[in-house]
Structure 1
Amino acid sequence: MKNIFIVVFALICFGAKAQQPASTEIKFPVADPSPADIVYFPLNAPKAKAGDLTKPVIKIVYSRPQKKGRDIFGVLEQFGTVWRFGANESTEVHFFKKVSIGGKKIKAGTYSLFAIPNKETWTIIVNAETDKWGAFTYNPAKDVVRVNVPVKALPKPLEYFSLTFVPINGGANLVIGWDRTLVELPIEFKDPNK
């Protein structure tokens, strides 16, 4: 009986030891210096309370690089060069319904956003490829639409690359700001003929 007890005890100890993970420690990544963020239109869509019928029309997932004392447009981000519209992975926009940008109708779905900054105007690009890192593999053949928008000056530098929406008649303006630069992209989604 004593031998059986020893065998059972040994099996329990061995079984418990076999279930323990290897001695390698799990290493989690450090916080990214360009944190990911999300902006919705309407802005309160993700915070809707019970009974609130607010539904999102647009959702943008992007990373927010910082100025860190640097000159941004024309220096860090060269004029005339395709830019990833943030940091890290390509910025992605999800349209929950059909929209129109620059007169081009775009189906509901997920797309990437890129920009070509210049001193007086930016070209904003909606591209069909998603899940890419930066603009390194940007493929202009996958562009859905390109729209030129004027550059405005911010009165004081904005530390983080920032996106928000402002409602307009028939849609919303995507407002883009960083350093001393501000641009707006009109997005229409309310068709008065429907």
Structure 2
Amino acid sequence: MKRTNVFYPLALLLFGVLLAASASAQDSKANRQSPPASATGKVGNATVTVNYSSPAVKGREVWGALVPYGEVWRAGANEATTVAFDQDVTVEGQALPAGTYSFYAIPGEEAWTVIFNKVANQWGTQYDAQQDALRVQVQPRQSASMNERLKYEVTDDGLVLMWENLEVPVSIQAEK
């Protein structure tokens, strides 16, 4: 009789551990509706790395609707998008020290403001303008093709945000 009393709590404990492990695995970032993604490349001698969550269009109008014009946008989903530079760079002609920054944008129909913020590890909606390291103006352009998911590319000339029918190039220069 005592033997049964010992096995019952152990069985419950084992069941609880298995249930918790299963729940934890389902909360994996890879299973999110906006899964994590990254882009890395060289601009001159600088390595540029963008880490972001990639939302999908899903038939929605993105620019001016889902992402309103004239308001700060986290330039991704979930946690703040980050851009890391392993050496000092110039962005649109303005100096930016090496480091990791959260990346925000204020979309507009004709021009965008892109923002490099000093607080990198934060939820995307916790933006504080007093922590901005740099703000620059860039010109969006029509994309050659539809991009269902938000994506970033690092090119020889900088980085490019691409989503729906729009591309937003950001010029970056570093020592060669």
- 62-71 or 172-181, larger mean C-alpha shift: 172-181
- 104-113 or 141-150, larger mean C-alpha shift: 104-113
Q: What is the TM-score of this pair, normalised by structure 1?
A: 0.75
What are the equivalent positions in structure 2 for 1:10-89 lying under 5 Å apart? 21-24=13-16, 25-26=19-20, 27-28=23-24, 29=27, 31-42=31-42, 57-89=47-79
Shift of 1:82: 0.3
Which of 76, 82, 97 matches 1:92? 82
Distance of 2:174 and 2:90 partners within structure 1 = 6
When you count helix as a share of all residues, which structure comes out higher? 2
1:124–1:149 contact (8 Å) kept in structure 2: yes
Distance of 1:178 and 1:155 partners within structure 2 = 11
The residue aligned with 1:184 is 169
The residue aligned with 1:5 is none
Summarize deviations over 1:82-119 as a string: whole Å, max 9, x none: 00011110001111111111333222211100000011
Summarize deviations over 1:114-135 as a string: whole Å, max 9, x none: 0000111111100001222122
Which of 158, 161, 164 matches 2:153? 164
Unaligned 5+ runs, structure 2:
none
1:102–1:145 contact (8 Å) kept in structure 2: no
1:112–1:129 contact (8 Å) kept in structure 2: yes
Higher relative CO (Cα under 8 Å, sequence separation at least 6) belongs to: 2
Distance of 1:190 and 1:111 partners within structure 2 = 20
Query: Structure 1 residues 56, 150: closer, same or farther in 2, change over 3 A?
Result: closer
Question: 2:135 aligned with 1:173, yes or no?
Answer: no
Q: SS where residue 42 of structure 1 aligns?
A: strand
Distance of 2:132 and 2:75 partners within structure 1 = 15
Unaligned 5+ runs, structure 1:
1-9, 44-54
Summarize deviations over 1:133-170 as a string: whole Å, max 9, x none: 122x2111111111111111124321000100221xxx
1:40–1:56 contact (8 Å) kept in structure 2: no
Distance of 1:147 and 1:115 partners within structure 2 = 10
Q: What is the TM-score of this pair, normalised by structure 2?
A: 0.83
Distance of 2:85 and 2:93 partners within structure 1 = 16
* Aligned positions, number: 162
Letter of the 1:128 counterpart:
K
Q: SS where residue 57 of structure 1 aligns?
A: strand
Query: Structure 1 residues 21, 105: closer, same or farther in 2, change over 3 A?
Result: farther
Identity, in percent, stands at: 31
Distance of 1:61 and 1:154 partners within structure 2 = 21
The residue aligned with 2:111 is 121
Letter of the 1:138 counterpart:
Y
Letter of the 1:109 counterpart:
G
Query: Structure 1 residues 109, 69: closer, same or farther in 2, change over 3 A?
Result: same
